[in-house]
A = this chain, B = another copy of it.
Amino acid sequence: MDIKDYMQTLGSNAKHAGRVLSRTESGQKNRALLAIADAIDHSRSVLASENQKDLVAGLANGLPAAALDRLALTPKAIDAMIEGLKQVAALPDPVGEITDLSYRPSGIQVGQMRVPLGVIGIIYESRPNVTVDAAALCLKSGNACILRGGSESLHSNQAIAACISQGLQAAELPDTAVQIVATADRAAVGELITMNAYVDIIVPRGGKSLIERISQEATIPVIKHLDGICHVYIDDQADIAKAVAIADNAKTHRYGVCNAMETLLVAESIAHRVLPLLADIFLAKGVELRGCLKTCSLIPECSRATEQDWHTEYLAPILSIRIVDGIDQAMEHISHYSSQHTEAIVTENYTLARRFLREVDSSSVMVNASTRFADGFEYGLGAEIGISTDKLHARGPVGLKGLTSLKFIVLGDGHIRQ
């Protein structure tokens, strides 16, 4: 198989299907989503046996346990895929919405219409459930998509692709609306991210190194999700009980997620009251603490943090802690070390809360809430294709709207420009 030809064909198919999808009514898209859910429900045994092939090969190739876990299509994972499809079908359709339509002095009416982006290329690891999630979001937002999952999940993805194709056909939509790259050849990725004639946007999902490499090589715009080095700042006017609950939740609710707190900043005058309480909790949960000199003097079990610690997204039960003068030093620290994902302040002071909200330049900024809320479902987006750490187009959790754009529409009655 010539990879370039193969990918160009997928691209051309997708562009054509995208034009059809862009004018498909919501009802028909929802019927397709529900038909895909049905097809998956009726294909449980095929999905299991194809997934088994991937799991056996993965085990033979020495995939780590966590990777095998993400690869496995358990009955529960299949239930979740079906439920996800139903949820996306139930979401409002953003496409075609017209906003701000108003008359101009010239007599024309000008507004903006929400439109699909066209063709979306998604590159992800060997997690078959992402195949269904990504397809559902693209379909609902009127975009065709080309999906390239990790090569270890190829059999599983092709079995899922068959279900998707069946559902699309049942709803009389072109089955090229969702295409799976059916080769493990890595050259396919290089081709996908440079097919500017066919693909409008690339969404990489996976580790930081994958995303950095794709961003560097892509000639198509990329919506990326890099680090989540999230901070919680406990101000000297914080309510101690809220501060303890939020810092505990932000760190220990889940360790391996991008919206977990990695660095805790504490105002000096409240540190001796709040840090011992938190240290007890963290140490009891097995969280390793690394702090500044002042922190270490308050918490004997704390080791000294290095410069590298402040830059690190641990994704693990490790926390760095720094005692600061007050909000200005806290915001300076955040400005310097944060990855601009999510930061929170804990304070009862109105003026400081207002300043933090305005001045901290991150995709999510919070007052008296856990960073763990930074999530498309929690924000009411219904679903998310990822969390963008870019500033352009879509910032923070990206739902259906992030997969659309706005075009201007002008309504006249023979109007000409004077």
Task: Give A contacts to B, CB under 8 Å.
Answer: 19, 22-23, 96, 102, 104, 106, 108, 110, 113, 115, 117-118, 200-201, 216, 219, 221, 239, 241-242, 245-246, 248-250, 253, 335, 344, 355, 357-359, 361-370, 372-374, 378-380, 390-393, 395-397, 405-417
Contacts and interface: CB of A to CB of B under 8 A. Distances in A.
Going nearest first, the 5 A-B pairs with the smallest beta carbon separation are: A369-B412, A242-B414, A249-B416, A372-B417, A366-B410
7 contacts: A19-B361, A104-B378, A113-B358, A115-B361, A365-B407, A372-B416, A373-B415
A368 B412 contact: yes
B396 A407 contact: yes
**Copies, count:** 2
A113 B373 contact: no
Contact of A367 (B219, B374, B379, B411): B411
Given A370-B417, A374-B408, A391-B118, A19 B335 contact: yes
Nearest to A96: B358
Contacts of A344: 410
Contacts of A200: 391-392
A118 B395 CA distance: 14
Contact of A391 (B117, B245, B246, B358): B117
Contacts of A23: 355, 358-359
A402 to B, nearest CB: 10
Given A392-B117, A414-B245, A364 B408 contact: yes
Contacts of A221: 221, 390, 392
A332 to B, nearest CB: 10
A368 B373 CA distance: 47
Given A246-B415, A369-B416, 17 more contacts: A22-B359, A108-B369, A108-B373, A110-B378, A113-B365, A117-B392, A242-B414, A365-B407, A366-B411, A366-B412, A367-B412, A368-B413, A369-B414, A372-B417, A373-B410, A374-B410, A392-B392
A415 B249 CA distance: 9
Nearest to A201: B392
A248 B368 CA distance: 61
B19 A242 contact: no
Contact of A249 (B216, B369, B391, B417): B417
